[in-house]
Chain A
Amino acid sequence: MSDSDSSSIPDITLQGQGLTKVYHTGSVDVHALRGVDLELREGELVVLLGPSGSGKSTLLNILGGLDSPSSGEVTFRDMRISADDESTLTRYRRDHVGFVFQFYNLIPSLTARENVSLVTEIAKRAMDPAEALALVGLAERLDHFPAQLSGGEQQRVAIARAIAKRPDILLCDEPTGALDSQTGILVLEAIERVNQEMGTTTAVITHNSVIGEMADRVLHFADGHVADYQENSLRKGAHELSW
C-alpha cells in the first residue's frame, strides 16, 4: 500500500496506542500493561527487551491478535484489530502475522515440509514450502519429522512456517530461549535474513540484551510500560553476536 510512497520514513505497519491490560486473578488485579504506545514501521526489526514479567509477552500477544487489550487500540495499516471479534482476529493472524515461539510448537505428526504446508495451504500468497525451508537453511531436511530434528532445526522450521505465507509482520517470542548460543545465532540469522530479504516487519521478544544489537530499534520494557528506547544507527549482523 505504500509502494508509491517516496518519503524516506517508511509507513507504519502496526501501531499500538494507550494499550493497557489488566488480568483479574481472584481478588488481585495484575496490571500487565500500563499504557503502551508503539509503532512498527515497514521492514524494520525491533527488539523488545525486558525481564520476565515486564509485560512484553502480553504486548506481543495483543499485537499478534491472540489477546485483546483492556483499553487502547491496535491498528494494522488501516484496520482496527483490537475488536473482540474472534473471526476478525483469526483472519488477521491467518493473513498477516507469522509467529515463532520459544518452544517451537511444531506438529509432531507432520514432517518439516508438511508443517510449513499446513500454513501455506490456508494462506493467500504463500511461497513454496521447500523455498521457505531453504531460506532458513533446511533444504536438506524437508522430509524429517520434528523428532528427527535438533532444537535449532526445529526452531528454524518454525520460522519457515511463520514466513512461508509472506506475513506482513513476524512476531518472535523468545525464539532462542530454549537453545544454546551457537544454535541461537543460527536461528537469529534466519530471522535476520527473512527481515532483510523479504522485508518483513519483525518484532523479537527477548531478555537477552545482546540480541538488541541486531535491531533497528530496541524498546526496554519494565513494569508494563516502555521504560527506555534506543535506536541503533548501525545494525550488527547476527553472526557477529555472542553471549
Chain B
Amino acid sequence: MSALNLKLIRNLWKLKGQVLAIAVVIASGVAVLVMSLSALQALQQTATAYYERQRFADVFATVKRAPHRLVNQISALPGVRSVEDRIKQMATLSIEGFEEPVIGQLVSIPEQGEPLLNNLVLRSGRLVSLGHPDEVVLNEPFAEAHDLQPGDQFKALMNGNQRSLTVVGIALSPEFIYSMGPGALMPDDKRFGVMWMGREALAAAYDLEGAFNEVSLGLLHDSSPEQIIVKLDRLLESYGSHGAIARKNQISNWFLMNEIEQLKTMSTILPTIFLAVAAFLGNMVMSRLIATDRSEIGLMKAFGYSNWQVAWHYTKMVMAMCGVGIVLGWLLGAWLGRVNTEIYADLFRFPLLIFRPDPGVFAIGAAVSLIAALAGSLGAVRHAATLPPAEAMSPPAPPMYRSSRFSQSRFGLWLDQPTRIILRQIMRSPWRSLLTSIGIALSVSVMVMALQWIDAIEEIIEVQFHQTQRQDMTVGLVESQSDQTLREIRRLPGVLAAEPMRSKSADLKAGHLSHRGGIEGITDNPKLQRIYDAQGEVVSVPPEGLILSTRLAEKLDVQIGDSVWVEVLEGKQPKALIPVVRLFETYMGMPAYLHIQAFNRLMGESASLEAINLLVDKNQLSQLYRSLKSLPRVSAVTLKDAAVEEFNETMAEMLMVYISFFAAFACALGFGVVYNSTRIALSERGRELATLRVLGFHSGEISYILLGEAALLILVGLPLGCLMGHGLGWLMTNAMNTELFRIPLVIKAATDATAVLVTLGATALSAAVVRRRLDHLDLIAVLKTRE
C-alpha cells in the first residue's frame, strides 16, 4: 500500500469520532430515503399482487333488486372480462360477552366453487357448504376482535328473524382491507364485521331468490372503467341502482390508496429534508476538516505531489467517510424499511408481503450524499491545493479581527475577555456560525414537524368528535324510515335526546366538475350533530340551500351564490340545481348538508330519516343496547367514544412509527452538528485554549470559551428551528391534504418546547463528549508545536 493511502487510513482512524458523527448524519439521510421508498414500493407491489391474485373487481354497483339473468347482459358489455353478482345485506349481531350491538355486513359467496371475483383468502377452517344455510366465514379482523374460532356460534337479526350462525372459517378479502361500518370514519373491528354466507342461504333470508343486489365486474386490461360505468348505470337504472363505482372509489381501496398516497408524500418530502441536512452537514464538516490539514498539504506538495494528487487524496478521504455513512444508511434503511412494511402489512392484513427493495433507491441515496459531501470539500481542497507549499507549511498569519462599535459600547466594555473571545470568534466567521445554527435549527425543525402530528390529531378529534359530534351514538336505519321510528327510539330506555338525520348518496356537479359522495339532511339548530367550522364556530342551517365543506367547494370550484346540480342516486333519483349558501371547513371527508325539510322536498318524501343521533344516559346503556338489537329497522349503531378510541388507536399505530424514527434522526442530526463543529473548533483552537490553561485558567473556564460559543449558536438555532419547523409542518400538511383528511397545522407551545428540549439534550451530550477532551488537553505538546 502506498504511503499516502496508509496516511489516509491512519488519519481516518485518528478522526474516528468525527468520522462516526458525520457517518451517522449521512446514514440518517440515506436510511430515511431507503426506508421510505422501499416501504412504499413494497406496499404498492404487495397490494397489486394481492388484488391480482384474489381477482379484486374493477367496478362495483349496488341495486335494490335485479334479476340474475341481467348478468348475461352485463357480461356482454365491451371490455368486461367477468361478472359476479352477489347479495349484500346488513344484520344486527349479538355476540356473547359483548353488550353493544354489532353490525354485520353479510356478503354472498357461491356454496360450490370459487367466486369469479373478490376471492377470499382462507386463513383457517373452510368455506360454507351447500345445504347448511347457517354457516358463515368471518373476516379475520372481526373474528380476532371477538376471539371467534371455527365452531363458535353467535346470533344475528336478519330481515327481522333471529338466527343462530355457525363460524366455519376465517378469511381475508381484498375488498375489505379497510372494513368500515356505515357512517364510520375508521375501521372498528369490534362493532362492525364482514362475513360471508352461502348465496342460496342469503337469498332465502332476504327474499332475493333468482336475484342480486350487488354486482362486481372484472375488466379487460385496456378498457376504461368510466365508459363501462356509463353503460352499466344505464342497464341498472330501472333496478334501483345507486350508481356504479370504479375500483378507485371502492371504500376499502380508496382508504388504502389514500394511505399509500400519504406514505408517498412522506417518502418524498422527508428524505429530501434529511438528505439536504446530511449534505449540508457533510459539506460543512468536510470543508473545515480539510482546512485544518493545511500544513500537511503544503508538505505533500513540497515533496512533489501535484495539485491533482493532493485533491484526489482528500477526495478519497471524503469518499471513505461518506462511504461509512452510506453503508450504515443502507443497512439501517433496508432494515427499517422491512420493519415499516411489516407494520403496514400487519395493519392492512395483507396475507402476503413482497419486499424487494429497488437497487435504484440505494443508488440515489448514495449518489446524493456523496455528491453533497464532495461538493462541500471541493472548495477546501482547491484552496489547500493551490496554496504555494511554503505558504501552506508556515503557520497561517494570525487571523484578522476588528474592533467593532459593539465592543466599545458600555455593554461591550463590561464583558469579560473569555466572553469577548466567544463573540469575536462568531463575528469573525458569521457565515460559518450561521451554518452551525442552521444545522441545529434543522434538527429542531424535523422534530417539530414530527411532533406536530400529535397536535394535529388532537385538533381533529376536538373538532370532529367534540365540537361537531356531540351525540353519544348514531343509530343507522335500514333504508329510509318515517317519523314513527324517531318517536319509537325516543321512547327507548336511557334516550335523553334524539335528532333525525338524512343521508343519501349523490353526485354533485358544477360545470364539468363532479364529485360522487353523499348529501346529508340536518335539522335547523341541531344540538347533537352540528356543522362546526374548523375556524371555531357553529354554522347555522338555513331552510334552503347547500352547505358545503370548503374542500368540496374547491373540488367543484364553486363559491357561495353559485349553484350545484345535486343528483341523488337512490330512491326516485331526483335532480335539482341548488344554490350554495354556506361554506365551512372540516378536517374529515367532504360533506354537503341540506336542511332536513329541504332534503325531504328534494326527495319528494314526507318526513323521513336514515339515521338518528342520540344522547343517552350511560347508566341505562345495557337496556338500550338490548332494545336496539331487537329493532329490525336498525342497521348500525356507532358509538362516539368507541370511534374516538378507534381513531386514536389507528392513528397512533401509524404515526408513532414515523414520529419515533424522526425523533431519533433529529437527535442524530443535532448530535452530529454540535459534535463536529465543537470538535473542529477544538482542533483549530487547541493552542489558544492550552495557552489559557497555562495562564492559569481552569478547564471549566476554558470549556466556557469553546462550549459557550456552541451554546450561543445553539441558542440562535433553537428559535430558528421552531420557525423552520412551522414552515416544514405547513409544507407537510399541505402535501397531505387529501379528500379523506386535511391535517390542520396546529403546533402547540409544548411541541416546540419538547423539540427544543430533545435537541438540547442531544447537543448537550455531544458537548459533554468534547468537554471530556478539554480535561485531557496536552498543554506542553500544544505549546511546542507551531500551529
Contact = CB atoms under 8 A, between A and B. Distances in A.
A111 B403 contact: yes
A147 interface: yes
B428 A109 contact: yes
A57 B784 CA distance: 10
Nearest to A143: B403
Given A61-B780, A121-B416, A147 B399 contact: yes
Nearest to B688: A107
B320 interface: no
A164 to B, nearest CB: 10
Nearest to B408: A143
Contacts of B698: 87, 90
B697 A122 contact: yes
Residue picked from A61, A105, A117, most chain B C-beta under 10 Å: A105
Interface stretch (A92-100, A131-139, A196-204): A92-100
Given A90-B696, A99-B694, A145-B402, A105 B417 contact: no
B420 A119 contact: no
A125 B681 CA distance: 33
A95 B696 contact: yes
Interface in B198-218: none
Interface string B662-700: 000000000000000000000000011001111111110
B708 to A, nearest CB: 13
A28 B399 CA distance: 39
Residue picked from B418, B421, B699, B783, most chain A C-beta under 10 Å: B783
Nearest to A111: B403
Contact of A66 (B397, B417, B694): B694
Contacts, number: 87
A161 interface: yes
A110 B400 CA distance: 10
Interface string B749-787: 000000000000000000000000000000110011010
A106 interface: yes
A117 B416 CA distance: 8
B424 interface: yes
A147 B401 contact: yes
Bin the interface of chain B by size.
Answer: 20 to 34
B398 interface: yes
Contacts of A86: 699
Contacts of A108: 398-399, 401, 688
B398 A122 contact: no
B420 A146 contact: no
A57 B780 CA distance: 10
Residue picked from B428, B695, B701, B786, most chain A C-beta under 10 Å: B695
Interface in B388-434: 397-403, 416-418, 420-421, 424-425, 428
A89 B330 CA distance: 50
A173 to B, nearest CB: 8
A114 B398 CA distance: 16
A86 B420 CA distance: 26
A90 B700 CA distance: 11
A93 B421 contact: no
A101 interface: yes
A67 interface: yes
Given A67-B780, A109-B424, A110-B417, A118 B399 contact: no
Contacts of B425: 109
Contact of A147 (B398, B416, B694, B699): B398
A117 B417 contact: yes
B783 A105 contact: yes
A167 to B, nearest CB: 10
Given A94-B696, A99-B695, A147-B401, A109 B780 contact: no
A145 B428 CA distance: 13
Nearest to B418: A118
B780 to A, nearest CB: 5
B586 to A, nearest CB: 58
B402 A107 contact: no
A122 to B, nearest CB: 6
Given A109-B401, A109-B424, A110-B424, A93 B696 contact: yes
A147 B397 contact: yes
Contacts of A146: 398
B624 to A, nearest CB: 77
A82 to B, nearest CB: 16
Contacts of A114: 417, 420
Given A66-B779, A147-B401, A105 B687 contact: yes
Nearest to A178: B786
Contacts of A64: 694
Contact of A145 (B401, B417, B688): B401
Contacts of B779: 66-67
Given A61-B780, A143-B403, A147-B400, A122 B420 contact: no
A161 B397 CA distance: 21
A7 B748 CA distance: 79
Given A86-B699, A118-B695, 8 more contacts: A66-B783, A90-B696, A93-B694, A99-B695, A103-B783, A107-B417, A109-B401, A122-B701
18 contacts: A66-B783, A90-B693, A94-B695, A95-B696, A97-B696, A99-B695, A101-B691, A105-B688, A107-B421, A108-B688, A109-B401, A110-B421, A110-B424, A114-B417, A121-B416, A121-B417, A145-B400, A147-B398
Nearest 6 A/B pairs, CB to CB: A94-B696, A109-B424, A118-B417, A105-B691, A93-B696, A147-B398
